[in-house]
Structure 1
Amino acid sequence: MKISLITATYDSYPAIKDCINSIAQQTIKPEHLIIDGGSKDLTLGTIKTSKSVSKYISEPDKGIYDALNKGIQMANGVIIGVLHSDDLLTSDTTLETIARIFTETGADVVYGDLVYVDKEDTNKVIRYWKSQAFKPELLKRGWMPAHPTVFAKREVYEKHGLFDLSFQIAADYDMMLRIFKDDSLKKVYLPEVITRMRVGGASNKSLKNILRKSTEDYRAMRKNGLPFPAWTLLCKNLSKLPQFLTKA
C-alpha cells in the first residue's frame, strides 16, 4: 500500500532537515509532499535539494490546516499520514510496520503512541502520549489519538472531508471526532511510538493559545454531537497530566 506523507512548513529550518531525513531513511519509500507557506529562511532551499521529496509547493496559505488540506488533495497514496516539520518518525521501519498493519487487519485507520521530545535533544523524552485501543465511549471522556500518529485510507478523507478552517488550533481534534465517531470505520491501535514531536506546538505556546484551544475544543465537541461537552472538556484537559509521568 502506497503511503503519502504530508509535511506543512513555514520558516522551518533547520528542523526540516531532520524531518526529511527521517522519511528518506524509511525501509519503504512513501510519497513525501511538502506544502510550504512561502518560507523566507533556508527551508525552501533544503526542500529543493532533497532527492526524497516527491512534490512540493511554496505559496502563501491560511495556516497549517490549509496546508494539510492542499496536501490531502495532492496525495496519490492509498494511505495518508502527516509528519510535521519539527517531527520525526521514531524508527526506519515505522512506515513498513504501519503498511503491514493495514494489510493484515483490513484497517481503515491505524494510530499509535507519540513522545514529546526536547527541541535540541530529540532523544530526551519530555512527555509520553500513550494511546489505547478504541472504544466509542472514550470520545465522551475527551480522548483522542495523537493526530500525527494517525494514518487513514484516502477513502476516509473522501467521506469525511478536509480540515475545517474555521478552527485555528483545534481543527485536528474536530477531524479526529469526525473520523472516530464513524462506526463503519475499522480503527486499529499500534501499541508503539510512531512519532517523536519536538515540544513547542502552537496550542501550548501561550496562555492565550491554551484558552483558545479549550474554546475551540468545546465548539468541536458541540459540532460533533458529544452529549456533555463541558464535562468532556474537563476530562480532556485532565487526561494530559499522566503524559508527564509516563516514560517511553
Structure 2
Amino acid sequence: MILEKSKPYFTIIIPTLNSEATLQECLISIFEQSFQNFEIIIVDGHSSDQTQIVANTFGSKVKVLEAKTKGIYNAMNEGIDIATGEWIYFLGSDDKLYNDQVLKNVHDFVFGTKIQLANGITIGIDSKKVIRSPNKLSLIRTGFHHQAFFYSKALFDNNIRFDTKFKVSADYYFTLVELLHKKRDYGFVDSVICEYGEKGFSSANVDYLFFSKHYAIIKDSTKEFPHVDFSPELMTSINCCLHLTKEKQHALAAWASFMAYFFSARLNLKTRLDLLSRMIKNTVRFW
C-alpha cells in the first residue's frame, strides 16, 4: 500500500521582485525553524536579477512561480491558488522570522483549536519599532503588519481572495472583514513572529481607498467599545474621501462612503455642510 504524502502544515507565500539582496536571509530564517512541516511558494514578478536563482538553491520545499499579473496582492492570490498547507503565512522578501521557534510556537498555539486567525508581535529591522496588537480593539484602531498574521487555509475557500483594488491594505481589509463581519475565531500569540523590512512599497504609501472605507468597516464593532471615542477614525475616513476626489481617484466610491458618513455619523450641522462643500468643490475640479 502506498501511503499518501502528508500535507504541509504551513504554506509560506513570498512575493518577490528583484529581491536577490534580501531573499537568501529571509529563506534561511525559515529553513532554520525547529518545526519543518512547511512549503514555501515564491511568486516572482519577472525579476531581472538573480532572485529566482537564489530561490532555486533551497531545494524542493521552495516552489517558484512567475507572476501572471502585476501587484503584491495579485502575487499573494496566485500563491493561495496552489497552497496546500493548513495555514497560510505571507512574508516579504526583506523580512525574516524572528527566531527558530516561530513556526513551532504558532503550531502549538492553534493546533486542536477552532482559531482561524492568529497574530503575534513584529519588530522593524531598522527602527526596532515593536507592533503589538493583542486584541480586536487594537487591530481596529492601529492596524497590523501582515507579517504578524497566520490565516487558516479554510478562510480562502470558495475562491475568496484579497481584493486587489486596495493597493496597500488589501490584507488589512480582508482581516477586518473576516474578524469583524464574519466573526472568525481569533487568537493572539504572545511572542515575536517576524522582523519586518521597512523600505517596501507599503511603508512609503497610504491606501486612501481603504481608509476612506475604514470607518464603515469598523462602525458596527464600535458598539462593543462604548467608552472609546472613534471620531479620529471617522475623520480619517472622511479626509480620505476628500483626498480621493481631489486627486481624481475612485470618485464614485469616495462619494458613496462620504454620504454614508454624512447621514449617519455624529457630526454637527456646520461641520457636515463644510465637509459637503469641500467634496463638491473637489468634484467640480474633477470634471
TM-score, with length taken from structure 1 = 0.80
Q: Which residue of 2 aligns with 1:224?
A: 217
| Amino acid of the structure 2 residue aligned with 1:64 | I
Q: Which residue of 2 aligns with 1:50?
A: 58
1:235–1:167 Cα change, 3 Å: closer
Whole-angstrom CA distance in 1 between matches of 2:100 and 2:121: 16
Report which structure shows greater RCO (CA 8 Å, sep ≥6).
Answer: 1
CA deviations 1:67-118 (Å, max 9, x no partner) are 0000111100111111110000111110011011111543111101111112
> Does 1:28 find its partner at 2:68?
no
> Does 1:149 find its partner at 2:153?
no
CA contact (8 A) 1:28 1:96 kept: yes
CA contact (8 A) 2:12 2:41 kept: yes
Note the C-alpha offset of 1:224. Answer: 3.2
List aligned pairs for 1:1-248, cutoff 5 A: 2-29=9-36, 30-51=38-59, 53-118=61-126, 125-134=127-136, 137-138=137-138, 141-158=140-157, 161-182=160-181, 184-205=183-204, 209-210=205-206, 213=207, 215-221=208-214, 224=217, 226=219, 231-232=232-233
Find the residue that maps to 2:64 and give its secondary structure.
strand
Over the residues paired in the alignment, what is the CA RMSD in angstroms?
2.5
1:82–1:56 Cα change, 3 Å: same
Whole-angstrom CA distance in 1 between matches of 2:170 and 2:62: 26
Higher helix proportion: 2
CA contact (8 A) 1:47 1:53 kept: no
Find the residue that maps to 1:8 and give its secondary structure.
strand
Note the C-alpha offset of 1:27. Answer: 1.3
Unaligned runs of 5+ in 1: 119-124, 237-248
Number of aligned residue pairs: 221
Note the C-alpha offset of 1:160. Answer: 8.2
Identity %: 25
CA contact (8 A) 1:35 1:58 kept: yes
Find the residue that maps to 1:167 and give its secondary structure.
coil
Whole-angstrom CA distance in 2 between matches of 1:100 and 1:235: 38
Find the residue that maps to 1:188 and give its secondary structure.
strand
Structure with higher Rg: it is 2
1:69–1:115 Cα change, 3 Å: same
1:2–1:230 Cα change, 3 Å: same
| Amino acid of the structure 2 residue aligned with 1:65 | Y
Whole-angstrom CA distance in 1 between matches of 2:60 and 2:143: 31
Find the residue that maps to 1:44 and give its secondary structure.
helix
Whole-angstrom CA distance in 2 between matches of 1:157 and 1:173: 15
CA contact (8 A) 2:180 2:218 kept: no
CA contact (8 A) 2:45 2:66 kept: yes
Q: Which residue of 2 aligns with 1:244?
A: none
Unaligned runs of 5+ in 2: 1-7, 223-229, 238-287
1:159–1:192 Cα change, 3 Å: farther
| Amino acid of the structure 2 residue aligned with 1:12 | S
CA contact (8 A) 1:148 1:195 kept: yes
TM-score, with length taken from structure 2 = 0.70
CA deviations 1:125-174 (Å, max 9, x no partner) are 5311111133xx556x5243322111111111226821111111121221
Of the structure 1 ranges 6-15 and 57-66, higher mean CA displacement relative to structure 2 is found in 57-66
Q: Which residue of 1 aligns with 2:250?
A: none
